[in-house]
Amino acid sequence: MGTHLFPLLLVAILFSTSSPAAASPHISAIISQSGLDFAKDLLVPLAADTLAHLSVPDIERSVNIPLIGIVRVVASGIVLEGVAVADSTVAAGDTGVVVAASLSSVNLTMEWSYSYGSWLVTISDSGSASIQVEGMDIGISMGMKNENGSLKLFVTECGCYMKDLDITVNGGSSWLYQVFIDGFSNHIRSSVENAITNKITEGASKLDLFLENIPKEIYVDKVTTVNVTFVDDPLFKSSSVQFDIDGLFIPSDKTALSKHMHFGDTKFAQPLGKSSNMLWISLDEDVFNSVSALYFKAGSLQHIVDKVPNQFLLNTASWRFLIPRLYRKYPNEDMLLNISAIAPPSVRINVGGVDATVDLDVIVNVLSSGDIVPVACISLSVAVSGGASVSGNNLVGRVELDYFSFDLKWSDIGKLHTSVVQRVMRIVLKDLFVPYVNSYLGKGFPLPIIKGFLIKDAYILTSRSRIIVSSDVAFVEPMKTIGIKQFVRSISEGMSITTL
Ligand SMILES: *[C@@H]1O[C@H](CO)[C@@H](O)[C@H](O)[C@H]1NC(C)=O
Ligand SMILES: *[C@@H]1O[C@H](CO)[C@@H](O)[C@H](O)[C@H]1NC(C)=O
Ligand SMILES: *[C@@H]1O[C@H](CO)[C@@H](O)[C@H](O)[C@H]1NC(C)=O
Ligand SMILES: *[C@@H]1O[C@H](CO)[C@@H](O)[C@H](O)[C@H]1NC(C)=O
């Protein structure tokens, strides 16, 4: 992990310039060039698909034909039969991203008709035509800004340029063919270009709707929810885009959001860009301290121990010689320990890993004729350290006991031998407390990932006061199999952020 010098340098560069803003972000997500490529490779085929069967408004012109006179010519039912994307690129600049695509072939079909009056009769004819476009370039620049904590996408420019048109007119007379070559092709060209530009801009507004509908909260459990409100405008740099998110945990509303979607045993779609990791998410230690404060406040950091690996330890008879007063008062009674945090655990992140300290009270209770009788209280100060990893779309953790110190807070059973307390507390911490904590950390916390996407091949870096998750992103296969149309619909209806 520590040998990734390049990523570390990159991280230092990526996260060094935080803009001076009012609200301070606690999570930043950076989409790198390969992440932009991934998104582009997902969206360009969708956009191309929406262009297929695109109808272009009819074109009607009056042309003066020598020897015939004024002829009304109509090109109608102009439809793009299909487009093939040859190449596409995405680039981030200072103000937004630009996506450009070259289409290798574009075919259109249309109907033609003409009519003209010759003395008393009207002469008319109609037929079909096909148009082959030699090539076409489409480009769109988009910017994004923060509007009330949501992302607002806007199109700054959208253009379409068609190369040569090759028109095949079926039927008609020779002058008609000339009319199309001379006058109509430019009209067809600009109508098609306009229709495509409008369609692409419309597609971008669906993307905007999707961004707007990204929820501002991710429900974790009854106690906590992550505030994923965007703070500041996205930061566009050359070849990356940074999104800043509030990221702190807030209390869950009673009206909890629906439970997260499970993807089960879905397969990953292959990420397309492979050069470097697509996504970098940086979480500062305040994120972890905010969740610890909430759990503490909710009274969740409490644990009753009535079973231990060496069960005899939880019976007063075992303490007959070491704590004679206990045995004398409560001979042969079961005991239980009530462990509770007396302050929110404090988390510190450093280059070496994650450390946490927690102050606990361990109340020793005796179960005496159905009552729980507290007989002593030991206060513990416990230090653990560990690391994080990614499981599904969650950041999970694992800690080990580093050291602990203790004090006898009060006792109704006389003084306790230091070495005895030390030994018992070590057992309790190592065999019960740490595994208990790890069972929670193993479930972890959701990373802000948009529904339908999965984190893949993640690795974790820890730096001063932050954890950085670097990963690729995969598109969940079922989305692919439901078909592009439905995906477009689900995008336009707005998808939501969710977690595994
Ligand atoms: C357009 O027509 C040509 C010739 O008929 C064909 O080879 C090509 O595959 C078509 N392209 C699309 C995108 O339909
Ligand atoms: C932001 O929210 C406030 C209050 O909800 C509203 O008055 C304002 O119009 C919103 N601004 C935009 C740009 O939507
Ligand atoms: C969520 O974060 C935003 C931005 O920092 C903040 O304005 C808002 O008050 C937060 N929501 C809650 C419920 O704390
Ligand atoms: C455990 O200790 C806490 C804090 O002193 C107390 O609030 C709680 O009622 C105790 N629980 C039991 C089961 O004794």
Q: pLDDT per residue over 329-375, tens digit each?
A: 999 999 999 999 999 999 999 988 899 999 999 999 999 888 999 99
Question: Tens of pLDDT along 188-241?
Answer: 889 999 999 999 999 888 888 888 888 899 888 889 999 999 999 999 988 899
53 sits in the region (left: phi over 0; alpha: psi -120 to 50; else beta) called left
Which residues are CB-contacts of 213 (< 8 A; sequence separation ≥ 6)? 494, 495, 496
Which residues are CB-contacts of 102 (< 8 A; sequence separation ≥ 6)? 85, 86, 87, 88, 135, 136, 137, 138
Instruction: Tell me if 81 CB under 6 Å of ligand 1.
Output: yes
Q: Nearest C-alpha to atom 1 of ligand 2 is from which residue?
A: 148
Rounded CA-CA distance 440/434 in Å is 10
Taking the CA of 225 as reference, the closest ligand is 3
Is the pLDDT at 260 greater than 70, yes or no? no
CATH number at residue 178: 3.15.10.10
Question: Tens of pLDDT along 449-473?
Answer: 887 788 988 989 898 899 999 999 8
Position 247 in a domain: no
Question: Tens of pLDDT along 170-189?
Answer: 887 777 777 777 778 888 88
Rounded CA-CA distance 111/128 in Å is 4
> In angstroms, what CA-CA distances link 382 with 345, 360, 404?
10, 8, 4
Q: Nearest C-alpha to atom 10 of ligand 4 is from which residue?
A: 338
Average pLDDT over residues 162-171: 86
Which residues are CB-contacts of 204 (< 8 A; sequence separation ≥ 6)? 140, 142, 153, 155, 158
Rounded CA-CA distance 281/243 in Å is 9
- Rounded to the nearest whole angstrom, what is the distance from the C-alpha of residue 148 to the centroid of ligand 2? 6
**pLDDT score recorded for residue 196:** 93
Position 184 in a domain: yes
Query: Measured from the CA of 246, which atom of ligand 3 is nearest?
Result: 5
Average pLDDT over residues 384-410: 94
Q: What angle do CA 174, 165, 202 make, to 5 degrees?
A: 130
Rounded CA-CA distance 386/443 in Å is 15
And the tokens for 296?
């503490």
Q: Among 212, 230, 246, which residue terminates a domain?
A: 212
266 and 119 together in one domain? no
**pLDDT score recorded for residue 100:** 94
61 and 203 together in one domain? yes
Q: Nearest C-alpha to atom 11 of ligand 4 is from which residue?
A: 338
334 and 452 together in one domain? yes
Question: Tens of pLDDT along 313-332?
Answer: 899 999 888 888 999 999 99
270 and 170 together in one domain? no
168 and 279 together in one domain? no
194 and 278 together in one domain? no
Average pLDDT over residues 417-435: 91
Q: What is the CA radius of gyration of the chain?
A: 34
Rounded CA-CA distance 283/279 in Å is 13
Position 392 in a domain: yes
Specify the pTM: 0.81
Of all residues in the chain, what percent carry a pLDDT higher than 90? 51
Rounded CA-CA distance 124/433 in Å is 91
**pLDDT score recorded for residue 185:** 84
For ligand 2, mutation pick of 144, 146, 148 (most atoms within 8 Å of CB)? 148
**pLDDT score recorded for residue 357:** 96
Rounded CA-CA distance 500/188 in Å is 50
Which of 58, 50, 57 is CA-nearest to residue 83? 50
200 and 278 together in one domain? no
Contact 110, 152 (CB under 8 A): no
Position 468 in a domain: yes
CATH number at residue 358: 3.15.20.10
Number of domains in the chain: 2
Q: Among 212, 242, 267, which residue terminates a domain?
A: 212
Rounded CA-CA distance 360/89 in Å is 56
**pLDDT score recorded for residue 18:** 44
Task: Count the neighbouring beta carbons within 10 Å of the beta carbon of residue 97.
Answer: 21
Position 5 in a domain: no
Is the pLDDT at 96 greater than 90, yes or no? yes
141 and 270 together in one domain? no
- Rounded to the nearest whole angstrom, what is the distance from the C-alpha of residue 78 to the centroid of ligand 1? 16
> In angstroms, what CA-CA distances link 309 with 313, 427, 431?
9, 9, 8
Position 265 in a domain: yes
Which of 368, 347, 369 is CA-nearest to residue 358? 347
Which three-class secondary structure string do you get for the chain?
A: CCCCHHHHHHHHHHCCCCCCCCCCCCEEEEEEHHHHHHHHHHHHHHHHHHHCCCEECCEEEEEEECCCEEEEEEEEEEEEEEEEEEEEEEEECCCCEEEEEEEEEEEEEEEEEEEEEECCEEEEEEEEEEEEECCEEEEEEEEEEEECCEEEEEEEEEEEEECCEEEEECCCCHHHHHHHHHHHHHHHHHHHHHHHHHHHHHHHHHHHHHHHCCCCEEECCCCEEEECCECCCCEEECCEEEEEECCCEEECCCCCCCCCCCCCCCCECCCCCCCCCCEEEEEEHHHHHHHHHHHHHCCCCEEEECCCCCHHHHEHHHHCCCCHHHHHHCCCCEEEEEEEECCCCEEEEECCEEEEEEEEEEEEEEEECCEEEEEEEEEEEEEEEEEEEEECCEEEEEEEEEEEEEEEEEECCCCCCHHHHHHHHHHHHHHHHHHHHHHHHHHCEECCCECCEEEEEEEEEEECCEEEEEEEEEEEHHHHHCCHHHHHHHHHHCCCECCC
Average pLDDT over residues 388-395: 92
**pLDDT score recorded for residue 19:** 44
**pLDDT score recorded for residue 11:** 46
Is the pLDDT at 143 greater than 90, yes or no? yes
Is the pLDDT at 265 greater than 80, yes or no? no
- Rounded to the nearest whole angstrom, what is the distance from the C-alpha of residue 191 to the centroid of ligand 1? 20
Question: Tens of pLDDT along 27-76?
Answer: 999 999 999 999 899 889 888 888 888 999 999 988 888 888 888 889 99
Task: Residue 97: give the domain boundaries.
Answer: 33-212
Q: What average pLDDT does the chain have?
A: 84
404 and 277 together in one domain? yes
**pLDDT score recorded for residue 2:** 35
Q: Nearest C-alpha to atom 11 of ligand 2 is from which residue?
A: 148
Rounded CA-CA distance 271/303 in Å is 44
**pLDDT score recorded for residue 487:** 52
Report residues whose beta carbon is within 6 angstroms of any ligand 4 atom: 304, 338, 340, 363, 372
Position 238 in a domain: no
Question: Tens of pLDDT along 467-498?
Answer: 999 999 887 755 444 454 555 455 444 443 33
With cut-offs at 50, 70 and 90, classify the pLDDT of residue 5.
Answer: very low
**pLDDT score recorded for residue 258:** 39
428 and 364 together in one domain? yes
262 and 165 together in one domain? no
Instruction: Tell me if 305 CB under 6 Å of ligand 1.
Output: no
263 and 202 together in one domain? no
Backbone angles phi, psi at 496, to 5 degrees: -125, 155
Instruction: Tell me if 148 CB under 6 Å of ligand 2.
Output: yes
Question: Tens of pLDDT along 236-257?
Answer: 988 899 999 999 999 997 544 4
- Rounded to the nearest whole angstrom, what is the distance from the C-alpha of residue 372 to the centroid of ligand 4? 10
Instruction: Tell me if 145 CB under 6 Å of ligand 2.
Output: no
The alpha carbon of 164 is separated from its chain's Cα centroid by a whole number of angstroms, namely 42
Position 221 in a domain: no
- Rounded to the nearest whole angstrom, what is the distance from the C-alpha of residue 147 to the centroid of ligand 2? 8
